[in-house]
């Protein structure tokens, strides 16, 4: 069994009696305390929510194309270069 870290932080929730009953029933069904059930469920959902921001999967062909795009020289964007050289409307014609 993996070693568990000491739980020192606390999270208080306000919920309706119906929501509490639902959570308690689900926890009982899973053979967990309500705290364990809510914590496990919340952490699972948090990991799902954050997964697309921290990692992604690609097929071998798409991975190769991704690496080639990263290694490619930057494209010349003449319109962007011109935009950056011209004074901004907020600069009132002042030189950069």
Q: Per residue in 31-83, pLDDT tens?
A: 999 999 999 999 999 998 898 787 778 999 999 999 999 999 999 999 999 88
Number of domains into which the chain is organized: 1
The residue behind tokens 């919340």 is: 42
Burial class (CB in 10 A: 0-12, 13-18, 19+), 5: exposed
Whether residue 49 is contained in a domain is answered as yes
76 falls within a domain: yes
How far is Cα 39 from Cα 43, in angstroms, rounded to an integer?
A: 6
Query: Residue 70 domain-assigned?
Result: yes
Give domain status of residue 51, yes or no: yes
42, part of any domain: yes
In this structure, is residue 53 part of a structural domain? yes
3-state class of 42 per DSSP?
Answer: helix
Q: Is residue 50 part of a domain?
A: yes
Question: Which residues form the domain of 23?
Answer: 17-85
The answer to which of 18-22, 38-42, 92-96 has the lowest mean pLDDT is: 92-96
Whole-structure pTM value = 0.53
């Amino acid at each position: 069994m993996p070693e568990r870290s000491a739980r020192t932080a606390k999270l208080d929730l306000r919920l309706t009696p119906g929501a509490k009953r639902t959570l308690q029933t689900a926890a009982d069904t899973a053979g967990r305390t309500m705290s364990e059930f809510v914590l496990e469920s919340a952490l699972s959902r948090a990991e799902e929510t954050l997964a697309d921001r921290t990692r992604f999967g690609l097929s071998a062909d798409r991975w190769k194309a991704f690496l080639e795009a990263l290694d490619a020289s930057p494209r010349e964007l003449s319109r962007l270069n011109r935009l950056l050289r011209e004074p901004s409307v907020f600069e009132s014609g002042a030189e950069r």
